[in-house]
Chains A and B, each alone.
Chain A
Amino acid sequence: MNTHTQLATYNFAYLDEQTKRMIRRAILKAIAIPGYQVPFASREMPMPYGWGTGGVQVTASVLGPDDTLKVIDQGADDTTNAVSIRAFFQKVANVEVTTRTADATIIQTRHRIPEETLTDGQILVYQVPIPEPLRFLEPRETETRKMHALEEYGLMHVKLYEDIARNGHIATTYAYPVKVEGRYVMDPSPTPKFDNPKMHKSRALQLFGAGREKRIYAIPPYTDVVSLDFEDHPFEVQKFDEPCALCAAQGVYLDEVILDDHGGRMFVCSDTDYCEKRRDEGHVGPLAGDSAETAQ
């Protein structure tokens, strides 16, 4: 990269190599102990906490010049967070980027897992705000660490019990706690519980980075991921009454889109890439084509 006349002012993928090395060591440890939160020396990134500083550091550490990167935010490739992080890596690593799930080798995500099944060799990087699943019930970090160490997870069910007592069913819809490989209880970041089954025995490597909380954890490929529940209130994912209004997909996670101020609304795939791909294949939903008119 550098000639004799140029000083080293640039390192591939923003972080310096020592930092990447430190993060990779944390990642390796996390992979070795599925679901265990590994502390790491989180760096300051050129974006505010809450925008995915943890995910960006993990991505920067696993990214190579031959990788193809996809970034999604709430399933979409074209929202602010996704666009800025994608642009960031284009600039600092000059890697290829894509919006197509199948073409990507690394997918950094916030709040969703792509609808398309991930395959061997792909890495899914999650941005995590609060890695500790027990945090809201037990505020002491010393105590939650001890609870993880001794596998004392009764408290997690207290939360689910409260849900049923108040709402008649388990009302936790996102950040739904899971047990990884029969050992650690883990917070799958604020993904909807709809995506929890996709984590189970996934063929892709799943890495979780929490920048502000300085924790990295991981689910290696083909790992058991079981959502916690009660025998008489089993785990269920959200169901949608209607298919996607644009591509007529069923059994996918839908977003509600307000169309006008007279109560008009439609439900469309939250995974924009999946929706576009289906439309290219010729699937047509009830509002496809005339959604522009309706909006007017």
Chain B
Amino acid sequence: MSDHPLLRVSAVTKFYGSRVGCRDVSFELWPGEVLAVVGESGSGKTTLLNAISTRLMPTSGTVEYCMRDGKFRDLYRMGEAERRFLMRTDWGFVHQNPADGLRMTVSAGANVGERLMAIGDRHYGNIRSSATQWLDRVEIEADRIDDQPRDFSGGMRQRLQIARNLVTGPRLVFMDEPTGGLDVSVQARLLDLMRGLVNDLGLAAIVVTHDLAVARLLSHRMMVMKDGNVIEHGLTDRVLDDPREPYTQLLVSSILQV
């Protein structure tokens, strides 16, 4: 393990006018670690994710990222060009709705290859073979490479979105409800796939979810949010097996048992 974290979040606060999005959130994320952010709708999970991933400027607080050269940089003090470059090479962002993260009108192969072309790959054969490899890794048949995502099922779209994000070998992936809107068996398959990929690639990830099962399966640590505040923070198994805060206890006990 490396001796310094990958991402350092200090006192990130976001206000929407006088309303609180998230308040005073601080944590560190280590390389290869998966952090789940759980909580009910409106608890500030997505606001926090957007504030960390530079998609939404926080009202106060800093987010520092350890670049590949080992130096920490404050994300909101970087130039826009550099930040966008970081977002499409060293980071990934998996949206809840695959249509937000994919180009629905270009083929699956081009969707996966876009990031490669964006960083200057100009060899069609190489781009196509990486796309084929990645489709295989996310269990999409090679003969679907020239089909458009709109011809894909919801689960396939989500897997394609993951492949598109991972093709440049990112070190950090943000996921916003990656299994939302999928039926249970597809969810299970996707989670299994994501767990495999995260382990194989040593990815660090921040997963926002309201589904405690997703947190249990994927994450090492978790944060529980309520009304914009982090109310509990710890190892996933500890938090789920021995919740301390009344709200977390309520959350854990309200999972339906079949």
Interface, chain A (partner B; CB < 8 A) = 137, 146, 150-152, 154-155, 157-159, 161-162, 164-166, 229-233
* Closest Cβ neighbor of B116 among chain A residues: A154
Given that A158-B106, A158-B113, A161-B127 are known contacts, is A152 also in contact with B118, CB under 8 Å in the complex? Answer: yes
* Closest Cβ neighbor of B113 among chain A residues: A161
Q: Which 7 A-B pairs have the closest CB atoms?
A: A154-B118, A157-B117, A230-B124, A154-B117, A150-B81, A231-B123, A161-B110
Enumerate chain A residues within 8 angstroms of B115, measured Cβ to Cβ. Answer: 154
* Contact B106–A230 (Cβ < 8 Å): no
* Contact A152–B84 (Cβ < 8 Å): yes
* Contact A158–B123 (Cβ < 8 Å): no
For residue B103, CB closer than 8 A to chain A, the reply is yes
Given that A158-B114, A161-B113 are known contacts, is A137 also in contact with B103, CB under 8 Å in the complex? Answer: yes
Enumerate chain B residues within 8 angstroms of A154, measured Cβ to Cβ. Answer: 114-115, 117-119
CA distance A155 to B123 in the complex (A): 15
CA distance A229 to B124 in the complex (A): 9
> What total of chain B residues lie within 8 Å of the partner, measured CB to CB?
22
For residue B125, CB closer than 8 A to chain A, the reply is yes
* Contact B117–A232 (Cβ < 8 Å): no
* Contact A150–B84 (Cβ < 8 Å): yes
Contact with A along B3-25 (1 / 0, CB 8 A): 00000000000000000000000
Enumerate chain A residues within 8 angstroms of B125, measured Cβ to Cβ. Answer: 232
* Contact A165–B110 (Cβ < 8 Å): yes
* Contact B110–A230 (Cβ < 8 Å): no
Enumerate chain A residues within 8 angstroms of B106, measured Cβ to Cβ. Answer: 137, 158-159, 161-162
Enumerate chain B residues within 8 angstroms of A161, measured Cβ to Cβ. Answer: 106, 109-110, 113, 117, 124, 127
For residue B136, CB closer than 8 A to chain A, the reply is no
CA distance A184 to B80 in the complex (A): 18
Enumerate chain B residues within 8 angstroms of A146, measured Cβ to Cβ. Answer: 80
Enumerate chain B residues within 8 angstroms of A152, measured Cβ to Cβ. Answer: 84, 118
Can you name 14 A-B pairs with beta carbons within 8 Å? A150-B84, A151-B81, A154-B115, A154-B119, A157-B117, A157-B122, A158-B106, A158-B113, A159-B106, A161-B106, A165-B109, A165-B110, A165-B128, A229-B122
Beyond A151-B81, A154-B114, A155-B118, 8 additional contacts (C-beta under 8 Å) are A150-B80, A152-B118, A158-B117, A161-B117, A162-B106, A165-B109, A165-B145, A231-B124
Enumerate chain A residues within 8 angstroms of B114, measured Cβ to Cβ. Answer: 154-155, 158
* Contact A165–B103 (Cβ < 8 Å): no
For residue B107, CB closer than 8 A to chain A, the reply is yes
- How far does the Cβ of A49 sit from chain B's closest Cβ, in whole Å? 26
Enumerate chain B residues within 8 angstroms of A157, measured Cβ to Cβ. Answer: 117, 122
Enumerate chain A residues within 8 angstroms of B109, measured Cβ to Cβ. Answer: 161, 165
* Contact A230–B84 (Cβ < 8 Å): no
For residue B146, CB closer than 8 A to chain A, the reply is yes
Given that A137-B103, A150-B81 are known contacts, is A232 also in contact with B124, CB under 8 Å in the complex? Answer: yes
CA distance A161 to B106 in the complex (A): 9
- How far does the Cβ of B56 sit from chain A's closest Cβ, in whole Å? 16
* Contact A162–B118 (Cβ < 8 Å): no
Interface residues of B in 120-135 (CB under 8 A from A): 122-125, 127-128
Enumerate chain B residues within 8 angstroms of A232, measured Cβ to Cβ. Answer: 123-125
* Contact B124–A233 (Cβ < 8 Å): yes
Given that A152-B84, A154-B115, A154-B117 are known contacts, is A162 also in contact with B107, CB under 8 Å in the complex? Answer: yes
Interface residues of B in 90-105 (CB under 8 A from A): 103
Enumerate chain B residues within 8 angstroms of A159, measured Cβ to Cβ. Answer: 106
CA distance A137 to B102 in the complex (A): 12
CA distance A264 to B125 in the complex (A): 41
CA distance A137 to B113 in the complex (A): 15
* Contact A230–B103 (Cβ < 8 Å): no
Enumerate chain B residues within 8 angstroms of A233, measured Cβ to Cβ. Answer: 124
Enumerate chain B residues within 8 angstroms of A151, measured Cβ to Cβ. Answer: 81
* Contact A166–B119 (Cβ < 8 Å): no
Enumerate chain B residues within 8 angstroms of A230, measured Cβ to Cβ. Answer: 122-124
Enumerate chain B residues within 8 angstroms of A231, measured Cβ to Cβ. Answer: 122-124
CA distance A151 to B119 in the complex (A): 11
Say which residue of B80, B117, B124 sits within 8 Å of A164 (CB atoms).
B124
CA distance A228 to B124 in the complex (A): 13
CA distance A216 to B115 in the complex (A): 31
